[in-house]
Amino acid sequence: MINGQALGAVSKLRYGICRMSFNGCEVIAVHNALVYLGIPKPLTDIAFYMERFRVLMGFFGCNAYKLGKALKHFGAECSRVKTPDDSKAFIITFWTGRRLLSSVHTVFCIRKENGIEVYNRYNSSHGAELCGSMDEVAAKKKTIAVYSIENLPQNP
């Protein structure tokens, strides 16, 4: 799993015209979902495929409404849902500030008995972070897209 997109080697990789440390969260979320499902793919392969969905030459990352297409391309079963309430594992994209006036962030999450484990929650995250609720995951910001990951592994 990749956490802290501004840390380590992943921060130096390019996605579009920027480095992943700035705009790679969607690529990282898809990567983390595939690792969790037991069908990992090289991050470079995922980024190369997702280049077709980049926004403004990748400056604004990837089109959040195309993440399901990328997941399915790499063999994951998923569906776009309004809320992740019934999802054990999901990818969520949300605004980081005011709608249309701020950036967005995309994370992969796993629902656990004691909360929601969030991967790559912040640029400087050193590991998964446990949140108590969906409000905490998205910092009470407006959700843009949610993909429920299906056909989960039996013993992740």
The per-residue pLDDT for range 100-154, each reduced to its tens digit, is 666 789 999 999 999 999 999 988 889 999 999 999 999 889 999 999 999 777 5
3-state secondary structure of 7: coil
Dist. CA 23–CA 153, nearest whole Å: 29
Give the pLDDT confidence score for residue 87 in this predicted structure. 94
Dist. CA 47–CA 34, nearest whole Å: 13
pTM for this one? Answer: 0.91
Dist. CA 4–CA 119, nearest whole Å: 8
**89 and 36 in contact (C-beta within 8 Å)?**
yes
Q: Mean pLDDT, the chain, as a whole number?
A: 89
Dist. CA 106–CA 143, nearest whole Å: 10
Mean of pLDDT values over 10-14: 88
Q: Which burial class, exposed, middle or buried, applies to 126 when counting CB atoms under 10 A from its CB (0-12, 13-18, 19+)?
A: exposed
Dist. CA 70–CA 12, nearest whole Å: 22
Q: What φ, ψ does residue 113 adopt, rounded to 5°?
A: -60, -35
Residue 119 has a CB neighbour count (10 Å cut-off) of 24
